Every structure is written in structure tokens, then in C-alpha cells.
Amino acid sequence: MAVSRITKSVVEVLGADSYDQAAEIRREDVDFILPDSGPDGLEIMVQSAAALVLRCFTGRLRVHGAETVELRALIQDEARKMNALDRLEFGSRSMGPWMLAFGCKRYGAICGDASGWTARINDTFKERLPAGCAATFAAACMVGKLFNVAILKRDRDAHEAWDFCLSSFTSDKGARVRSQEVVDLGRVGILGAGALGSAVGFVLLRSRAKADVIVMDPQSFDDPNLETCILADILAVNGPRKKAIHLAEVLKLGGIEARAELQRVEAGNDLLKLRWNGFVCGVDNPETRRMLDETNTRVLLNAGLGDSKEDAGFVLWTRHLEGGAPLSELYSAARSGVRPQEVKNVGAVPKEFREECTRMAYQGVSLSIPFAALAAGSLLVAGLYHEARDEAPVDNYLQMDLFGKQSRYLRRLRG
């Protein structure tokens, strides 16, 4: 069986001596705390967090508080994808140190909330509007902070309180909270049905959007995709099924028009010549990104994840409009060569790296930590909404560190 990419991330950041040691570090229990008033309006955030925790942690997931039959079913659906129903506990009296509190506060817990387009981390709303992108984004940030504390043993900024509006891409505390309306996104292309593409699909399904989606990816699932692709399930991975077919079918089951294209998309491909309302780049190689300049789309949205110890937990989002700066400027051929750190200190990695795969092959792809992918997917879907509403935010480039102090980092990028 292939080694978990989340375990590889732990190896990369902590320098564990072996994969077994890194895997053991992930064996932590997580407690979900729901408000006494019940989870009304919190279902998407709790479901998203459950999907992430079941992938990033390997201990038990205990749910405390007034859950509903519907919420319990959503959490069980996420566990069923992972063949992990035995890891769930509802109404348990046990409580460990690693807690997530939804729409409420609990001493020692990382808490979060979402209302309309606004995600609120380590604080709550008095009144809550229905939320889609903001709920998935809030869950990603909460789990990212918990992973940083519980697995990587770094408690800096764990209880940072901040807001982020996915309508304006600003982190101004106290800004007006607006509702997320139902919008027709038109024809949307998703290139890549791996971690990023799957996350985009997950957010689309929970944002109440209408769209005509074409998913492009010729590859089949492999073992690590069960953890990295939030819409993957054990049956699809063990099949293995084609990623694009699975994603398109899941979207259709959720009421979104979708179909799969299994051809490899290269320069000059007819798919790039179709007229798109929005086109999402969810691949992790610069060669493919560079050829997307010719895509016939009103907006090209790109996302990337960190791929080294230095930028693990980083999320990149960029927007490229007709007549604007092309995507290739970010991924020029001069930048795509081997970085010096990729060939040095080979002895500092586990023996499995040296014996089973090359350091170079690993460094060439993102670490695919699921909460980073879901944060990126939330930003990408928000970008599609911006274009559909003709209400684009000021910035065409956004980068954040889910392990760092996000509000300060966002202000620095904007200023």
C-alpha cells in the first residue's frame, strides 16, 4: 500500500525517523463540541470538519452536545467513505485535549462559526445566516490550527481570533455580513479531480450553486487519494475508478449538471477552446499550468498547496481575467527547475524515502493536506461566485499560511 501523503507531510515538517513513527504521531482523538441550542446552521461546518478530521487524524472522533438525527447521519456518511464508522462516538463521556467547538466556546478548544459569506475563527456569531463557502473554509481553518497543535506540537496562534469574508476576500473584523445567495455559475471547467478538484466539488455541493460542470482528468484513484480527495470513498479508490467519472457522478447526485472528460488536456486541446464562464486549475505541475493561458474563459482560477517543510500548510489562490496577467507568469520555465534543497540532506529523510521512492519525485508534488485543499477549494468556488455576480474583490493574488497567524498575513499581502 502506498504511504499516506499526510504521513509524508508529518515526516517533512517534523523529520520523523520512519513512516511508522509519523503515522503513530497522527493517532490522536478529537472531540467535537456542539452548542446546547443544537447545530442549526452549523451542519455544513461540522460535516466538513468531520471529513477532514477522519482523514488527518487516526484516533477516535467523539461528538458532544445536542446533535440531530440529520447531523449524525452526515457525520456517519463521512466515516463510511473512509470505512471508519468504528471510530465514531456520540454522547461519549470521554474528553481529550484536542477539541473543536462549533458555534460556541469551550476553554481550550479551537472554535469557529460561519454566517453568510463570513468565516469566524475562535469567535461566534449571535445570529447566523445560511453559509456555504464560508462554512467549509471555517472548518478547514479550524482543523488546520488543531493539526498544527496536536500533531506538529506548535501552539503558536492556535487561538487567534479572526474573520474572513469570502465575498470580498478581506479580514476586516466587524464588516457587514451578507448572505450567500443561489447563483448560476454557468459552464465551469475543473481541470484535475484530485485533492483540489475534489475539494471544489465538495464546496459546490454545499454552496447551493447551479452550474454546468465538465471535469477533466484521465487518471484513476490510487490508495493515498482516500485521504487527500474529500469526495473519494473506499469503493471508488479500491475499484479503482476514474477520478473524473467519480467526481462528476457525485456532483450529479447533488443536483449539479456534470460530465467527465478522460482525455489528457494539452496545449491546443479543443476543451480549452470551449467558451467557459469559469475555469478552475486544480493540477499540481507547472507545465500544465503554463499552457492554460490559451483557455477561452472569462476567468481562470488557480490554486496551489505547499510542497516542502517551509511551506506546508500554505494555500495559494490566483485569478486571471481576460486581458490580464496570464497564469504562466507565476510558473515560468525558469522557475520550474530543481530547487537546491531538493537534492541536499538526503540522509535527513526516513529510510523508506531512500529505498522506496526518490526525494525528487516527492518534492515535485504538493503535500495534499486535506484541510489546505478544502481551504483552497472554498476560495476557488468563491472566485466563481465573484465572476457570476460581477463583484470581484480587489486582489487577484492571495496566499495564506493555515499554520501561521492568518489575519496578520492577509493584511501584509494586501498592504
**Cell numbers at 371, concatenated:** 484541510
Give the residue-averaged pLDDT of 266-294.
Answer: 91
Task: Please indicate, yes or no, if residue 4 is contained in any of the structural domains.
Answer: no
Torsion of CA 291, 414, 402, 88, to 10 degrees: -90
In this structure, the answer to whether residues 320 and 389 fall within a common structural domain is yes
What is the structure's pLDDT at 312?
Answer: 85
344 within a domain of the structure (yes/no): yes
CA dist 365 and 343 (Å) reads 15
Domain interval for residue 246: 184-414
Closest CA to 34 of 166, 116, 158, 124: 124
Q: How far apart are CA 232 and CA 226, in angstroms?
A: 6
Distance of CA 291 to the CA centre of its chain: 24
Q: Quick one: what percent of the chain has pLDDT higher than 70?
A: 90
Longest dimension (CA), the chain: 60
Whether residue 385 is found in the same domain as residue 274: yes
Q: Per the domain annotation, does 266 fall within a domain?
A: yes
Domain count, the chain: 2
Confirm whether 161 is domain-assigned: yes
Residue 241 CB neighbours (<10 A): 17
Domain co-membership, 200 together with 244: yes
Asked if 217 and 271 sit in the same domain, the reply is yes
Helix (H, G, I), strand (E, B) or coil at 391: coil
Final residue in a domain of this structure, among 110, 137, 165: 165
Average confidence (pLDDT) over 379-384: 96
Residues 56 and 158 in one domain: yes
224 and 116 in one domain?
Answer: no
Residues 255 and 402 in one domain: yes
Average model confidence (pLDDT) across the chain: 87
The pLDDT of residue 398 is above 50:
yes
Q: Is residue 176 part of a domain?
A: no
Pair 219, 154 in one domain: no
pLDDT digits (tens, 9 = 90+) for 129-159: 999 999 999 999 999 999 999 999 998 889 9
Residue that finishes a domain, picked among 130, 165, 200: 165
pLDDT band at 257 (very low <50, low <70, confident <90, very high): very high
Q: Is residue 179 part of a domain?
A: no
pLDDT in tens, 92-122: 899 999 999 999 999 999 999 999 999 999 9
CATH number at 73 reads 3.40.50
C-alpha span between 81 and 92 (Å, rounded): 22
Cell of 24: 503513530
Question: Does the pLDDT of residue 335 top 50, yes or no?
Answer: no
pLDDT at 1: 52
pLDDT in tens, 14-42: 888 888 888 999 999 999 999 998 888 99
Q: Say yes or no: 340 and 303 in one domain.
A: yes
pTM value is 0.92
Same domain membership, residue 141 and residue 30: yes
Least confident of 167-176, 277-286, 355-364, 366-375: 355-364
Report the pLDDT averaged over residues 353-360.
Answer: 38
Q: Are 122 and 102 in contact (CB under 8 A)?
A: no
Which CATH number do you get for residue 407? 3.40.50.720
- For residue 372, how many other CB atoms are within 10 A of its CB? 33
Together in a domain, 137 and 258: no
The 3-class SS string of 206-230 reads HCCCEEEEEEECCCECCCCHHHHCC
The answer to whether residue 9 is domain-embedded is no
345: buried, middle or exposed (CB in 10 Å: 19+, 13-18, 0-12)? exposed
pLDDT in tens, 62-88: 999 988 999 999 999 999 999 999 999
